[in-house]
């Protein structure tokens, strides 16, 4: 079982298109198979609260996950490649009492002329991490990545 759930995918769209899809929080319900809705100021910025309405199993019960945005690094050229990062931390009760902490990173990288690579990881810590279901989170991240790819490729110029 993955302690730090992760997923990666290559997306045949410019980094700017993928980034725009990621930050358009009002439209997640139209395309995302894992995060079915987001309550967040738009566009999101560091310090904003963000509430994720997560569906771990397609068509299943939704879970609400309170988070706070810690990083919004728009696409910039870094070492020849374009990079962007979105990060947020889990703020639910288990985190407040030190039982499960989580920081999610979503990173984009695009080498010149290449596809955009999407990588995401949840860095978990705390004694009850196994009960948080890292395996189901990783499956959700995979569905999220596939949905992001489909949406961004539909919108590419």
pLDDT band at 25 (very low <50, low <70, confident <90, very high): very high
pLDDT band at 72 (very low <50, low <70, confident <90, very high): very high
Pick 101 or 3 by higher pLDDT: 101
Total-model pTM: 0.94
Distance, CA of 57 to CA of 62 (rounded, Å): 9
Distance, CA of 67 to CA of 111 (rounded, Å): 31
Predicted confidence (pLDDT) at residue 67 exceeds the cutoff of 80? yes
Judge contact between 15 and 146, C-beta under 8 A: no
Mean pLDDT of all residues in the chain? 95
Determine the pLDDT at residue 24.
Answer: 95
Determine the pLDDT at residue 112.
Answer: 96
């Amino acid at each position: 079982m993955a302690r730090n759930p992760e997923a990666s995918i290559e997306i045949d769209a410019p980094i700017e298109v993928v980034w725009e899809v990621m930050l358009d929080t009002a439209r997640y319900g139209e395309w995302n198979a894992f995060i079915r809705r987001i309550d967040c100021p738009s566009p999101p910025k560091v310090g904003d609260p963000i509430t994720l309405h997560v569906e771990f199993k397609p068509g299943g019960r939704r879970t609400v996950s309170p988070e706070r945005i810690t990083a919004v690094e728009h696409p910039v050229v870094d070492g020849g490649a374009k990079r962007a990062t979105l990060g947020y931390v889990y703020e639910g009760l288990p985190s407040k009492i030190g039982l499960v902490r989580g920081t999610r990173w979503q990173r984009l990288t695009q080498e010149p002329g290449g596809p955009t690579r999407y990588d995401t990881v949840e860095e978990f810590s705390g004694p009850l991490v196994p009960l948080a279901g890292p395996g189901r989170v990783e499956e959700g991240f995979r569905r999220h990545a596939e949905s992001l790819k489909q949406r961004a490729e539909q919108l590419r110029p």
